[in-house]
Amino acid sequence: MPLDKNWYADMEARIPKGGVRTRFAPSPTGYMHVGNLRTALYTWLIARHSNGTFILRIEDTDQGRLVEGAVDVIYQTMQQCGLIWDEGPDLGGPVGPYIQTERRDLYGKYAELLLEKGGAYRCFCDKERLESLHGESGLGGYDGHCRRLTQEETDAKLAAGVPYVIRQKIPETGSTTFHDVVFGDITVENETLDDQVLIKSDGLPTYNFANVVDDHLMGITHVVRGSEYLSSAPKYNLLYEAFGWEVPQYIHCAPVMRDAHNKMSKRHGDPSYEDLIEQGYLSEAVINYVALLGWSPRGDQAEREFFTLSELAEAFDIGGISKSPAIFDLEKLTYFNAAYLRGLTPEDFHEAAEPYIRQTVKDPALDTRLIAPLLQARCERLTDIPEKVDFFDTLPEYGKELYTNKKSKTNEEISLDMLQRTVPMLEGLQDWSQEVIHDALIGLAGTLGVKNATLMWPLRIAVAGKTVTPGGAVEICHILGKAEVLDRVRKGIDLLSHTPS
C-alpha cells in the first residue's frame, strides 16, 4: 500500500522553526544521577541563553527498566532545581505527545518511509542464526544477510508471516563524518558500523531510532548527551541523511568521574541528586557545582565560581565545555554549600535548618529561631546541625577535665569559684534578655578582676557539657532559660566539688 505523503507533510508542518530548541529526555529508571542532572542543566542553559525552548520528553520504550514513581522523581527533581520546561507531558505543546510510548504509532510509519527511501530493510533472521553469528565473530555484528534478499524473497516471507525486525542499511563502503561542538569533526569508516535494529519484532522502536525521529519531529536544534554516545553518532547522522532531514548540533560531554579511573556509579555508592539533598546539601549549591563539572566560564568571568541559575543562563557558552572528564569532588561541593548556607537570609536559613534542629531539640519551649542564627556561619551541611545542638535538649554527661583551658586561664579550682559566684548573680536577674545576661556577666568578671573568658568558659561548659558549641555562654543561657541554666550550673558545681575517693 502506498504511503500517505500528505500525512508526512502535515507532520513536517507542525515542527517549530527558527529558534533554539533543546530537550532533556530521561528514562524513568529511578534516581537522577549527577551526570544526568548535568545533561539536564546544560540542555536547559543552552535554551535559556538563547531565549529558546526547553522540552521535557520521557523515553519509556524500554519497559523492562521502568521503575514505578520514577517519572514523579524526574518532575520533582527538575522543579526543585529550577529547570522548568516549556513543553512536556504535563504541559503539552505543538509537537506532542511527549512520552515515547504514546508516540509508538509514529515510529512504524517512519520506518516504512525509511524502507521506501532505501535507508532500511527487513531482517527475518531468527534468534539461532543471530546467536551463531555472535559465536563466530565474538562481536555479535550482523552480517547483512537480509539486506541482499530480493523483493520477491521478502514478499514471500511477509506473506508467510515470518517475524522480522527493521534494520538500518549502513553504506557498505566509504566513511561518515559528523561534527560535534566539543570534539570537532569525527570520521568513521562505514564498514565498522553495524546495521542496527530500528524496529523490534514486537513493533516497538529501539532507543536509537525513536530518539532520531522524536528529535526531528520536535524540531530539536541542539542535542546534549554523554560522550559514551559518540560511537552512535555516525548512525544517527546516516539516519538523518537517509530521511533528508537537517542534522542537529551535537554536544557530547565527557563523563563525570569518581576519580581518575572510574566513572561515577550508583552501584559503587556514588551519590545521586536525591542522595546529596538528603546529605544536607542545598539544591542551589549542587546546581552551581554541577555546572562547573566540565564547563568553565570565559572572558571577564573566567575566574568566577559562584553563579545563580539565571546568572549561569546568561554566562553559559557552549565553547566553555571541556573534552576532559570532570572529577566529582565532595569536598569542593561542601565548600560551595557552606558558602550558600552563609548567603541565605536569616529567614531562609531558619526554614532550611529547623527540621534538622528538631531532630535533637525536641522541647517545644526551646525557640528554633534563636538557635538557627548560631548555626548559619558554623555548618557546612544541614546534616551537621543535629549533633551541634543536641545539648539544648539534654545536658550530656561530661568530665570535669573540660573545665581546664589554658587560653581562658581556667582549671577545675578556678572554674568552681567562677560558677559559685555566678549563681547568685543569675538568680537575681529579673530580665532574662540576652543583653541583660551579657552585661551582668561582663560586670561580674570586672568585679572579680578576671578576664571575661575566665568566667565565660566554665559557664559554657556547665550549660552545654561541650567544649565546642554554636554560640557562647550568653546565647546558650538566653535560649535555655533561667531555671534550666541555674540547674545546669549547680550540677557543674556538684561535679567540681566532688573529690574522688
Active site residues: 266
Cell of 471: 554560640
| 309 half-sphere exposure, CB direction, 13 A CA radius | 20
**Measured at the alpha carbon of residue 461, what is the angle toward residues 395 and 433, in degrees to the nearest 5?**
85
Cell of 177: 563524518
222-226 and 249-253: which strand pairing?
parallel
SS3 8: helix
Maximum distance among all Cα pairs of the chain, rounded to whole angstroms: 111
Q: For residue 309, count other CB atoms closer than 10 A to its CB.
A: 18
21-24 and 53-56: which strand pairing?
parallel
- Contact (Cβ atoms closer than 8 angstroms) between residue 285 and residue 82: no
Cell of 37: 542532572
User: For the chain, how big is the Rg over CA atoms in Å?
Assistant: 33
Residue 35's beta-bridge partner residues? none
**Among candidates 281, 259, 277, 280, which has minimal Cα distance to 268?**
259
- Quote the CA–CA distance of 501 and 499 in Å, as a whole number: 6
- Quote the CA–CA distance of 25 and 215 in Å, as a whole number: 10
- Contact (Cβ atoms closer than 8 angstroms) between residue 277 and residue 283: yes
Cell of 98: 511527549
**Cis amide bond preceding 470, omega within 30:** no
Residue appearing with cell numbers 503539552: 92
Residue 205's beta-bridge partner residues? 199
Determine the straight-line distance between the first and last CA of the chain, rounded to whole angstroms: 104
Q: What are phi and psi of 302, to 5 degrees?
A: -60, -35
